[in-house]
Chain A
């Protein structure tokens, strides 16, 4: 529904699913490793770009993971349990009451990644998305109109 240059974001309120799609210029073995090996995961998970202070990955169905940001006072560690591990194409985990799926498809030398987050209920979905909703709402209308202009082309 919403789109920008790189990541395609879709919110489906019927299936309670948020989906991100993005293409990377790297083989999917690398992308899978980046998602599943602490030394790699540490380097990209925090949106601010700072490396994680702690990254524990027990990569097997039923195995737990824990990613701790430098700023753990404001954002608690991201913890959960893996449900399905299919190297190098799929990873399913449960975290914060939602089910996350990472799907990796090879496209020549690139990888098409689909990350979907399925929530337990509409309220749950709304809560998820509302995180920090008050920040910078002024620019948003312009952004969306820009998007709509692109979509209309």
Chain B
């Protein structure tokens, strides 16, 4: 799979708020399907479907634990690619807005 296809899969996976919430939950540690389905109020098959999308995109994997098959976040996975892809652009604008913020403060002060 080339980089572009990977990135497309990653973005498609991240497009869904439930899947982002699942990633957020897994960033705190491994969890099983039933542990994941409770807080989201979703049925296990629905959660499983979301987990498959996240797995296909490489965000998460199953731990080798035949009984419970907990999912875990893949360290250095596509999150790194996605963030690395966006970050320079974001930082450029963030820098700009930080400047604007301090400049507006100066504007706010009455001139001496």
Contacts and interface: CB of A to CB of B under 8 A. Distances in A.
A152 B28 contact: yes
B87 A140 contact: yes
B77 to A, nearest CB: 8
A145 B103 CA distance: 32
Interface residues of B, number: 43
Given A2-B86, A22-B97, A131-B92, 17 more contacts: A2-B90, A4-B94, A11-B86, A13-B15, A18-B89, A26-B105, A30-B108, A33-B107, A34-B104, A44-B96, A44-B102, A45-B96, A45-B99, A141-B79, A141-B80, A151-B21, A152-B27
B108 A128 contact: no
A98 to B, nearest CB: 12
A44 B99 contact: yes
Interface in B2-25: 4, 7, 11, 14-15, 20-21, 23-25
B101 interface: yes
Contact of A30 (B4, B76, B102, B107): B107
B97 to A, nearest CB: 5
- Interface size class on chain A is 35 or more
A128 B24 CA distance: 27
A141 B75 contact: yes
Nearest to A18: B89
Contacts of B65: none
Contact of A7 (B7, B80, B86, B93): B93
Contacts of B4: 126
B88 A144 contact: no
Interface in B54-112: 73, 75-76, 79-80, 82-105, 107-108
Nearest to A146: B27
Given A1-B14, A129-B89, A26 B27 contact: no
Nearest to B106: A43
A126 B107 CA distance: 36
A101 to B, nearest CB: 14
